[in-house]
Amino acid sequence: MSLRLGDDAPNFQAQTSIGDIDFYDYTKGSWAVLYSHPSDFTPVCTTELGRTAQLKSEFEKRNVKVLALSVDGVEDHLEWIKDINETQNTTVDFPIIADKDRKVAELYDMIHPNASTTFTVRSVFVVGPDRKVKLTLTYPASTGRNFYEILRVIDSLQLTAEYSVATPADWKEGEDVIVVPAIKTEDIPAQFPKGFTEIKPYLRVTPQPNK
């Protein structure tokens, strides 16, 4: 059964490249990004893990814990990390889960039999501090992920969790946002003192409220 938005993210215990972890304990009080890789020593994954490490400060300032997963074992992960650090000029210090028994992959429906019966697809899960699934993305094995897009979505998720707004197409941090339809136009000034523009009765935009 696939996970849907708003579902509880299942807890699990696993061996990782930084030692044994409990998912709930490791991510307590934080947002989390859990993403999977088909296997170790693969070229696209090497660039993805390297990019994640390079963006460490960006994830940290958003209070995000990152966890990667591959179906290979810890020893392979540790050797692979050496290659990643060397080729991507970075330092991988976040956990890579060793999922040799496919336990976590099956729990999160990361194996799609029509794509591969043994390897995980490129799944991405963003989980909130409430342990609810906030975002799911699925890429084919051949396509590397856009981590700036993942950060952009996290910015939107964190903003819209705090304010009654939505973010328009291609929105980036600092740009105008949309007032949700549930707020009456006459009530907008009290909630959004920076002002607003009514483009249509159902489309009201306002400056990002926390900027």
Q: Which residues are catalytic?
A: 45
Annotate 99-111 with DSSP letters as a single string: -TT-HHHHHTT--
Using only C-alpha atoms, the chain has a radius of gyration, in whole angstroms, of 19
- CA atoms of 67 and 17, how far apart (whole Å): 10
Are 108 and 34 in contact by the 8 Å Cβ rule? The answer is: yes
Strand ranges (E), 140-195: 165-166, 177-179
Nearest to 125 by CA among 145, 143, 142, 141: 145
CB distance 185 to 201 below 8 Å = yes
Cβ–Cβ under 8 Å, residues 209 and 163 = yes
Q: Residue type for 144, please?
A: G
Closest CA to 12 of 72, 59, 56, 69: 69
Q: Report the C-alpha gap between 51 and 43 in whole angstroms.
A: 13
Backbone angles phi, psi at 124, to 5 degrees: -135, 130
